[in-house]
Amino acid sequence: MFTAVSRIDTPAPFFGGNRLVARRAASYTTGRRVVQVHAVTNVSRNPNMGKLKAGYLFPEINRIKNAHLEKKPDAAIISLGIGDTTEPIPAPIIDGMISSVSGLGTPAGYAKYGGYGPGEGQAELREKIASRFYPGGEVSADEIFVSDGSKCDISRLQMLFGPNRNVAVQDPSYPAYVDSSVMNGHATSFDASTKQYGNITYLSCNSNNNFFPNLAHANDSEIIFFCSPNNPTGAAATREQLTDLVAHAKENGSIIIYDAAYASYIENPDCPKSIFEIPGADECAIETCSFSKYAGFTGLRLGWTVVPENLKFADGFSVKADWNRLMNTTFNGASNVAQAGGLACLSDEGWNAMTELVGFYKENASILKRTFEDMGYTTYGGTNAPYVWVSFDGQDSWEVFTEILEKCDIVVTPGSGFGPAGDGFIRASAFGHRDSILEATERLKKAFTK
């Protein structure tokens, strides 16, 4: 074996070809040094991975934050960045999980829930999700597939559809839609001038269109990612808008992947909490959802995806049947303890505690929204969503991000991280302790009041 070489001046020469050929470690000379080169394999890099630019948004932000901390080691950083829950999990839910864990130490408890569970989730949990979140009977338990979270399901959905699809996303939107689309081969390369990947349709959502896109741009899209309440803008789509969306999908034969991860934050009765409240959505939509932002389950990992019985591919084959097959091949069920936690969330006590927790973060959102407005900024979101979308009048959003970090020791998320139409904005997340949120508003007011 060779000693690692941390940095080489010029690319190492290697022998390529379409067929596998014998490969040897080599040494070569750069300047005055003889550099020992690790043998490379003859496996080409997946070109779709090569198309992805920079890091995934949040690790990238973390990197910049850590660099700031190196310069200013005693900075008391407040994060309004990644939407990461901060409050302890309420007692009735903790109790449910403790009793599940204790059970796993006993023969009876282990026999019930210890081994491999059904790939699609425990029957009792699926029933409870159906009755709690779809009280109108729009969704039945066997259309619910329990998972380790929406982000994971989104990339499994990409596997389901396979490469080279026409995909549309809201712009701005949660980066996982675009990144997983690129990884899965739907996109051509990134265009530095438009800041878009080729062959992905970006549906601009902005204050001029009330954050609901012109769907005509998606006429050719096989798959439309749609998130409501939207991450990052906080916009919750109305019943009328979603009716248009469903009509559009049915008219064009598209499938909507509807991300409802923040649905419990909706308070406006005109905004449905599920796409399946819209008649016909069961023939054109899949819905992903999550316990992460409802009960502080970001680290526990529990979500679900609804694939309706009535959703069919063009040849009439059941999408749900393929999804079931895929889940059984690529996944082995959500953690049994997380599922016990989910079940505890859906008891009356758990449900009330969860509602209270959501209310707490909503109050944070309202404090942040009011602060920015008092400071003279135009804001969106923050009422039906845990995110406040703040306009910085067209300023480069990574510059605004850096300025806020440097002046206030506050991490926000630059709007352009969610797509080119997000430039000029920052997203402030309401996930934080109340005292941090209040301290953040003080620092912001001091440094950024117009």
Positions in 148-207 near its own copies (CB under 8 A): 148-149, 151-152, 154-155, 159-163, 165, 176, 179-180, 183-185
DSSP 245-306: HHHHHHHHT-EEEEE-TTGGG---TTS-SSGGGSTTGGGTEEEEEESHHHHT-TTT--EEEE
Give yes or no for a contact between 384 and 266, defined as CB atoms under 8 angstroms apart.
yes
What binding mask, one character per residue, do residues 82-121 give for its own copies by CB under 8 A, x or -?
Answer: x-xxxxxxxx--x--xx--xx-xxxx-xxx-xxxxx-x--
Token representation of residue 318:
């059941």
Rounded-to-integer distance, Cα 353 and Cα 338, Å: 17
Select 350 or 424, whichever has its Cβ closest to its own copies.
350
311 forms part of the interface with its own copies (CB under 8 A):
yes
Please state, as a whole number, how many other Cβ atoms lie within 10 Å of the Cβ of residue 390. Answer: 28
What binding mask, one character per residue, do residues 373-402 give for its own copies by CB under 8 A, x or -?
Answer: ------------------------------
Rounded-to-integer distance, Cα 65 and Cα 78, Å: 11
Rounded-to-integer distance, Cα 153 and Cα 383, Å: 27
The torsion angles phi and psi of 408, rounded to 5 degrees, stand at -120, -5
Select 337 or 400, whichever has its Cβ closest to its own copies.
337
* CA 183 from centroid of its chain's CA atoms: 15
For residue 137, give the amino acid letter. Answer: G
The torsion angles phi and psi of 207, rounded to 5 degrees, stand at -65, -25
Select 228 or 298, whichever has its Cβ closest to its own copies.
298
In angstroms, give the least distance from the CB of 224 to its own copies.
Answer: 11
417 forms part of the interface with its own copies (CB under 8 A):
no
Select 320 or 448, whichever has its Cβ closest to its own copies.
320
Task: Give the helix/strand (H/E) hosting 91.
Answer: helix 91-104
Number of chain residues interacting with its own copies (CB under 8 A): 122
Q: Which residue in 190, 331, 360, 398 binds its own copies (CB under 8 A)?
A: 331
Query: Quick one: which segment of 12-20, 65-73, 396-404, 437-445 binds its own copies (CB under 8 A)?
Result: 12-20
Token representation of residue 379:
């804001």
In angstroms, give the least distance from the CB of 359 to its own copies.
Answer: 18
322 forms part of the interface with its own copies (CB under 8 A):
yes
In angstroms, give the least distance from the CB of 58 to its own copies.
Answer: 8
For residue 310, give the amino acid letter. Answer: N
- Footprint on residues 250-289 left by its own copies (CB under 8 A): 250-255, 279-280, 282-284
Q: Which residue in 41, 66, 193, 208 binds its own copies (CB under 8 A)?
A: 41
Select 217 or 325, whichever has its Cβ closest to its own copies.
325
3-class SS of residue 413: strand
Select 22 or 34, whichever has its Cβ closest to its own copies.
22
Rounded-to-integer distance, Cα 342 and Cα 129, Å: 9
In angstroms, give the least distance from the CB of 233 to its own copies.
Answer: 21
DSSP 163: S
Select 241 or 292, whichever has its Cβ closest to its own copies.
292
136 forms part of the interface with its own copies (CB under 8 A):
no
Select 292 or 379, whichever has its Cβ closest to its own copies.
292
